[in-house]
Chains A and B, each alone.
Chain A
Amino acid sequence: MSTEDPEDGWVPLDRDRVGTVLRRALNRLWPMVRRRHLFPELPSPRLESSPSRVAMEIREKQIILNLDYVAEMSRVLPVETVLTALLDHAVSHYTCCPWDLTTHLRLYSRAKEILGDVDLARRATDLFMDVVADTHAVKERQSPLPSLYRHAPRDTADELLCSLFENIWGVDLGAKDHREEVRRLSSIPYLDKRRWLASLSRFIRAIRPFLEGAQTEMAREQMRMGDHGFRQYRPEEIETALREFAKEVDSPQQFVEIFEDIQNDLQASGACDLEGMGFGKGCPVDANWLYYMKLAENYALPVKKIPMRGSGNLHPHSHRPWEIGQPVREVDPWSSFGKYLPGITQIWERRQGEIFGTKEKTPDCLIIIDSSGSMVDPRARLSHAVLGAGCAADAYLRNEAHVAVYNFSDALAGGKEHLPFTKSRALVYRVLCRYFGGGTALDLPEITSLVREIEADIFLITDMQITNLDQTIARLSALNNRVTAVHVGKKPGALRFIKAAKRTANISVFGVEQPADIPRIVLGSVRSYLADRKRKHQVTEEPVYWSWTKHPPKIG
């Protein structure tokens, strides 16, 4: 295989042998490319014949080069140059921009916010990532990408990129003049990762007329280097990215909007089953539940499951001086110098041992959530009540307990939805996200009947503007179940509830000034609640939280 410069009479490869030759060349070049890029953890790339005009695609981190494109380019460039440049481009996407799906989502989200159109936003994000990745490869890895860009056929997008590259790389790529755009694009700090979002905004402002003008043409042609859809990521990356993204967005709507844009790509990327939520083909995910699910995953609540208890057996623990009258069978001759003398002879102090007791079951939990008109609509804005309830539900579900949900507004008038005890996280979130928006009244007999016969905790989250609040307090305090009540704001009802709860042993009330405090208070309070109970009863090992009853035993 020749590596001569094409200008000096380089002979094109035989078409029949091209596949074999290219694969051999790829196998030879890949270790060198990996080495230059400091050994990224990527599977070996492969060559595939494709009718598409794009140079490559990335599927689950594997670079798949278009054999036909490489063969075509090898007519005008040495094969080594073509393959190395393409690999540099692809690897730079992995090692530099976007780096991971979280960054990709951030960039796409910003582009969508500015452009408002899915295709334009994708195109703009792809172009930006190409510029960053290629500039990184050329600057840091001495990539032969300029040679490829100089000889590769170009569409409108490539023309603009080449014009920009000429200016910022200082090479001649024979590009058409896009002076106005290039002037604006050239001073963007592409290699400063911390400024990527601001840079993307500037990038879009500069290329927007071009993008909108060339939309039809660009829609007709795929990008030469291949588009950077979201299907290149692995399921684990998708999980992490959605969790991060849920934390970063301003509202559930923003999450829903972006997720719906990329849902098809994520589905195509492989199995990503969200607890039977049907995150597969044909069963679209309700992005609202997914938002609260992913957000709640950022607030993991540990639950102690295996309690320690006294074994009943006594075992030697420490020494103390022997006194006359004490049993001599406890004397430790090894520490007593072989003498029976009070004050010198040592006897064993025995203590009761501690063992892992019977594996205690985490109790089930009934989550009662208020979705009346005074509460936030979880689909419109971030509902801290739903998030808090979701965190609590997750804590129980993680410990193999069942969770039931009672979502109410004016329950007596039929404004309620009840989910029986289940382990399905998806179902729990579906009911938690239901919003009635009416009055506020609890159907107390129904709630009592739900937990009367079983050992289940009750988690109530509301603003306490409940019509039948007094009856609610009376009914809850009469139960044997532990009740954790969270109220939003300092409404008169909340104060009444707090006063009443002080007289009961089974209700713990947590108040918040701002709804934004709910997730923190709920999660933190459960822990402090544990600690408080422990301090109160001076219990160090007994799992008070889980064996807690209306009349806790006095220990110690």
Chain B
Amino acid sequence: MINPFEDFKDFRSEARPLPLDRLVPAHDEAMAALTSGYTKLVEQEVKSLVWFVEHNRVIEAYTVACEVIRSLDYDGQNIEEFCYQLDSGASMPYLISGPAGIYISALCNHVAEDDLVLRLRHMQRQMHFLGYRLPHGKTLRIEGDTGNFTGAALNGGQLIVAGSSGDWIGAGMTEGKITIVKNCGRNTGEWMQGGEIWVGGRIHGLGRSVSGRIYQAGEPVVGRER
């Protein structure tokens, strides 16, 4: 009788080790860590049922975010991927847009890379608070539109949004430069203490800035005398 498996008797499946075997688990591990950090932040913030954008609240959320990401190992690509994960809702507890944006900003502010590019053009929703407290020496380029409070409390970094932004751009920023390639919304530069906001398109409405300069299509609209 012929053994139908005869041909396989000396078959040895020897999978060749590839760098891919190392790259994928490392990425998955980093993503799991980012998700876990976000979950911790959400657990903290979800205690009150509604998340209000209050000055103390934002600072508190940012402090917690910085705390939870302190030991994480990640890079810019992980941040971008995390944004898409948040957007799709896959493997995420839930998206609270305020804390989510603050968390991403905290990640950007503490990542090892100084020049960061986030390609967010194909996200379904817009993130708020992107570029929050971006420090000196960091350049963050966001490809796509952003939500409200983009570049709020900017702290010397360079934020470029290759798209449009929502309301309250650069609210409370102290120094640095925000460039919005297209348009932005109301209250632009509210409580602005310093720095520059360049808007390539149209500014829907200006806020009450304390200091700093705001340009619309190359023309200064706030801080002309300086």
Taking the nearest CB of chain B, how far is it from the CB of A237, in angstroms?
26
Asked if A311 lies at the interface with its beta carbon under 8 angstroms from chain B, I say: no
Taking the nearest CB of chain A, how far is it from the CB of B3, in angstroms?
14
Q: In the complex, what residues of A have CB within 8 A of residue B81's CB? A: 202
Taking the nearest CB of chain A, how far is it from the CB of B13, in angstroms?
7
Q: Which of B8, B16, B77 contacts A138 (CB 8 A)?
A: B16
* Beta-carbon nearest neighbor of A206 in chain B: B119
In A179-232, which residues have CB < 8 Å from any B CB?
Answer: 180, 183-184, 186-192, 198, 201-202, 205, 208
- In the assembly, what is the distance between CA of A267 and CA of B144, in Å? 40
Q: Is B15 touching A135 in the complex (CB atoms < 8 A)?
A: no
Asked if A167 lies at the interface with its beta carbon under 8 angstroms from chain B, I say: yes
Taking the nearest CB of chain A, how far is it from the CB of B115, in angstroms?
12
Q: In the complex, what residues of A have CB within 8 A of residue B28's CB? A: 189
Given contacts A140-B13, A189-B24, contact A169 B18 (CB under 8 A): yes
Asked if A139 lies at the interface with its beta carbon under 8 angstroms from chain B, I say: yes
Q: In the complex, what residues of A have CB within 8 A of residue B27's CB? A: 187
Contact code string B15-39 (vs A, CB < 8 Å = 1, else 0): 1101110011011100000000000
- In the assembly, what is the distance between CA of A406 and CA of B14, in Å? 63
Asked if A337 lies at the interface with its beta carbon under 8 angstroms from chain B, I say: no
Q: Is B77 touching A184 in the complex (CB atoms < 8 A)?
A: yes
Q: Which of B11, B15, B16, B122 contacts A208 (CB 8 A)?
A: B122
Q: Is A168 touching B23 in the complex (CB atoms < 8 A)?
A: yes
Q: In the complex, what residues of B have CB within 8 A of residue A138's CB? A: 16, 18
Q: Which of A114, A187, A189 contacts B77 (CB 8 A)?
A: A187
Given contacts A187-B24, A205-B119, contact A198 B90 (CB under 8 A): yes
Q: Is A142 touching B77 in the complex (CB atoms < 8 A)?
A: no
Q: Is A139 touching B18 in the complex (CB atoms < 8 A)?
A: yes
Taking the nearest CB of chain A, how far is it from the CB of B139, in angstroms?
15
Q: Which of A35, A184, A205 contacts B122 (CB 8 A)?
A: A205
In A33-88, which residues have CB < 8 Å from any B CB?
Answer: 35, 38-39
Classify chain A: how many residues form its interface, as a range: 20 to 34
Q: Is B20 touching A135 in the complex (CB atoms < 8 A)?
A: yes
Asked if B7 lies at the interface with its beta carbon under 8 angstroms from chain A, I say: yes
Q: Is A39 touching B7 in the complex (CB atoms < 8 A)?
A: yes
Asked if A170 lies at the interface with its beta carbon under 8 angstroms from chain B, I say: yes
Q: In the complex, what residues of B have CB within 8 A of residue A191's CB? A: 20
Given contacts A142-B14, A187-B26, A205-B84, contact A170 B19 (CB under 8 A): yes
- In the assembly, what is the distance between CA of A121 and CA of B14, in Å? 35
Taking the nearest CB of chain B, how far is it from the CB of A384, in angstroms?
27
Q: Is A135 touching B24 in the complex (CB atoms < 8 A)?
A: no
Q: Is A135 touching B84 in the complex (CB atoms < 8 A)?
A: no
Q: In the complex, what residues of A have CB within 8 A of residue B16's CB? A: 138-140, 142
Taking the nearest CB of chain A, how far is it from the CB of B218, in angstroms?
27
Taking the nearest CB of chain A, how far is it from the CB of B33, in angstroms?
14
Q: Which of A168, A183, A205 contacts B18 (CB 8 A)?
A: A168
Q: In the complex, what residues of A have CB within 8 A of residue B23's CB? A: 167-168, 186-187
- In the assembly, what is the distance between CA of A191 and CA of B25, in Å? 12
Contact code string A531-554 (vs B, CB < 8 Å = 1, else 0): 000000000000000000000000
Taking the nearest CB of chain A, how far is it from the CB of B26, in angstroms?
7
- In the assembly, what is the distance between CA of A440 and CA of B8, in Å? 68
Q: Is A139 touching B15 in the complex (CB atoms < 8 A)?
A: yes
Q: In the complex, what residues of B have CB within 8 A of residue A192's CB? A: 24
Q: In the complex, what residues of A have CB within 8 A of residue B122's CB? A: 114, 205, 208
Taking the nearest CB of chain B, how far is it from the CB of A458, in angstroms?
46
* Beta-carbon nearest neighbor of A115 in chain B: B122
Q: In the complex, what residues of A have CB within 8 A of residue B7's CB? A: 35, 39
Q: Is B20 touching A186 in the complex (CB atoms < 8 A)?
A: yes
Contact code string B83-95 (vs A, CB < 8 Å = 1, else 0): 0100000100000
Q: In the complex, what residues of A have CB within 8 A of residue B119's CB? A: 205
- In the assembly, what is the distance between CA of A170 and CA of B28, in Å? 20
- In the assembly, what is the distance between CA of A140 and CA of B20, in Å? 13
Q: Is B15 touching A169 in the complex (CB atoms < 8 A)?
A: no
Taking the nearest CB of chain A, how far is it from the CB of B145, in angstroms?
16
Taking the nearest CB of chain A, how far is it from the CB of B42, in angstroms?
22
- In the assembly, what is the distance between CA of A490 and CA of B124, in Å? 37
- In the assembly, what is the distance between CA of A37 and CA of B14, in Å? 12
Q: In the complex, what residues of B have CB within 8 A of residue A190's CB? A: 20
Contact code string B108-122 (vs A, CB < 8 Å = 1, else 0): 000000000101001
In A142-193, which residues have CB < 8 Å from any B CB?
Answer: 142, 167-170, 180, 183-184, 186-192
- In the assembly, what is the distance between CA of A202 and CA of B28, in Å? 13
Taking the nearest CB of chain B, how far is it from the CB of A170, in angstroms?
4
Q: In the complex, what residues of A have CB within 8 A of residue B90's CB? A: 198
- In the assembly, what is the distance between CA of A114 and CA of B18, in Å? 30
* Beta-carbon nearest neighbor of A204 in chain B: B122
Taking the nearest CB of chain A, how far is it from the CB of B84, in angstroms?
7
Q: Which of B8, B15, B26 contacts A140 (CB 8 A)?
A: B15
Taking the nearest CB of chain B, how far is it from the CB of A137, in angstroms?
10
Q: In the complex, what residues of B have CB within 8 A of residue A186's CB? A: 19-20, 23
A139-B20, A205-B84 are known; give 5 further A-B pairs, CB within 8 A: A168-B23, A183-B77, A189-B24, A202-B84, A208-B122
Give the top 4 A-B pairs by smallest Cβ distance, nearest first. A187-B27, A168-B20, A170-B19, A189-B24
> A: which residues have CB within 8 A of B?
35, 38-39, 114, 135, 138-140, 142, 167-170, 180, 183-184, 186-192, 198, 201-202, 205, 208
Sample 20 A-B pairs with CB under 8 A, ordered by A number. Answer: A114-B122, A135-B20, A138-B16, A138-B18, A139-B15, A139-B18, A140-B15, A140-B16, A168-B23, A183-B77, A184-B77, A186-B20, A186-B23, A187-B26, A188-B24, A190-B20, A198-B90, A201-B84, A205-B122, A208-B122
